[in-house]
C-alpha cells in the first residue's frame, strides 16, 4: 500500500485540536491541491472562503448548531457553489446563464464541491493535520451567506475544520464493503444482513470510546431522515437565484 492509500484508508474525523496555528505554507499547499481538483466542463464553479479569525469562527459555530470544534480548529474552510463566477464568463461570451436554475446545475456543483472537499481532506491529512467536514453550515444558510459576504448565484454547501491534532480518534467502523461495492449490476440482496451486523458493530464502537449517547446506524438514520433536517436550504438557495425548477 502506498502512502496516499494509507492516508485515505486511515481517515477519521478529528474534533479536538491544538492551539498551534496552521502555517501559511501548509495552508497554501492544501488550497493549491484543491485548486487543481477537477470540475465538470472545467467550469471551476467552486470557491473557497478560508476563515482563520477566531471571532468569525465562533459565529460560524453558532450558525452551525454550536459545534465547539469549529471554534477549536484554527482554520475553517467554507466550500461555496459559485455560479456568480461562471455567470461573468457566460456574459462575456454574450450568452445568458441558465444552468443555475436547474437540478443538473445544483447536482453537478455538489459533485464538484465533494471532489474539492475530498482533495482538501487528503491534502491536510498528508501533512499530519486532522479534519472534520461540517455539513451543518446549511443549517442557517442565510446567516452563513451574510457572514461570508456571498453574492447572488452562490451557496455555502459544506465546510471543513482543520488543525493540528490534540486528541486522536480510532477509526470508526464501516458497513461491510459488500454493501458499498456492486460488481456489474446493483445488488441489494445482502443489505438487510449487512445493516443488522453494522448496527451491532457501531454500538460496540460507541461503547469502546465511551459514548453513552451513541445510537445504532438504523436509529440514527431514523431520527434524522424522517425530516428534512435543514429545511432552509431550498428557500435560501432560491433567493440566491438557484431555483432548481428546470
Q: Quick one: cell of 118?
A: 475530498
Give me the tens of pLDDT residue by residue for the chain, a chain 246 residues long.
Answer: 999 999 999 999 999 999 999 999 999 999 999 999 999 999 999 999 999 999 999 999 999 999 999 999 999 999 999 999 999 999 999 999 999 999 999 999 999 999 999 999 999 999 999 999 999 999 999 999 999 999 999 999 999 999 999 999 999 999 999 999 999 999 999 999 999 999 999 999 999 999 999 999 999 999 999 999 999 999 999 999 998 888
Three cell numbers, residue 161: 475544520
- Please identify which residue in the block is written with the cell numbers 464502537: 205
What pLDDT, on a 0 to 100 scale, did the predictor assign at position 134? Answer: 98
> What's the structural domain count of the chain?
2
Q: Which domain holds residue 64?
A: 3-169+231-239
Radius of gyration for the alpha carbons in the chain, expressed in angstroms and rounded: 19
Which 8-state DSSP code applies to residue 236? H
Phi, psi of 62 (to 5 degrees): -65, -40
Residue 220 falls inside a structural domain: no
pLDDT, residue 21, reads 98
Looking at the structure, tell me whether residues 157 and 210 fall in a common domain.
Answer: no
Cα distance from N-terminal residue to C-terminal residue, the chain: 45
Please give the helix or strand (H or E) that residue 106 lies within, else none.
Answer: helix 103-126
pTM given for the model: 0.97
35, 59: one domain: yes
21: helix, strand or coil: coil
226 SS3 class: coil
Amino acid at each position: 500500500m502506498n502512502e496516499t492509500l494509507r492516508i485515505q484508508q486511515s481517515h477519521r474525523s478529528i474534533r479536538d485540536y491544538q492551539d498551534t496555528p496552521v502555517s501559511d505554507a501548509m495552508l497554501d499547499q492544501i488550497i493549491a491541491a484543491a485548486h487543481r481538483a477537477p470540475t465538470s466542463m472545467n467550469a471551476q464553479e467552486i470557491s473557497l472562503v478560508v476563515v482563520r479569525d477566531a471571532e468569525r469562527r465562533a459565529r460560524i459555530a453558532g450558525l452551525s448548531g454550536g459545534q465547539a470544534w469549529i471554534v477549536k480548529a484554527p482554520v475553517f474552510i467554507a466550500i461555496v457553489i459559485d455560479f456568480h463566477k461562471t455567470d461573468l464568463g457566460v456574459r462575456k461570451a454574450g450568452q445568458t446563464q441558465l444552468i443555475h436554475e436547474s437540478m443538473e446545475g445544483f447536482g453537478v456543483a455538489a459533485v464538484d464541491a465533494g471532489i474539492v472537499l475530498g482533495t482538501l481532506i487528503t491534502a491536510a491529512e498528508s501533512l499530519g493535520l486532522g479534519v472534520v467536514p461540517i455539513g451543518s453550515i446549511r443549517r442557517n444558510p442565510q446567516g452563513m451567506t451574510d457572514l461570508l459576504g456571498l453574492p447572488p448565484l452562490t451557496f455555502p454547501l459544506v465546510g471543513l475544520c482543520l488543525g493540528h491534532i490534540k486528541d486522536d480518534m480510532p477509526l470508526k467502523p464501516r458497513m461491510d464493503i459488500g454493501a458499498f461495492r456492486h460488481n456489474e449490476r446493483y445488488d441489494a440482496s445482502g443489505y438487510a444482513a449487512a445493516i443488522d451486523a453494522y448496527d451491532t458493530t457501531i454500538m460496540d464502537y460507541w461503547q469502546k470510546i465511551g459514548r453513552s449517547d451513541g445510537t445504532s446506524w438504523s436509529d440514527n438514520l431514523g431520527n434524522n431522515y424522517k425530516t428534512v433536517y435543514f429545511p432552509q436550504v431550498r428557500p435560501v438557495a432560491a433567493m440566491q437565484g438557484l431555483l432548481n425548477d428546470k
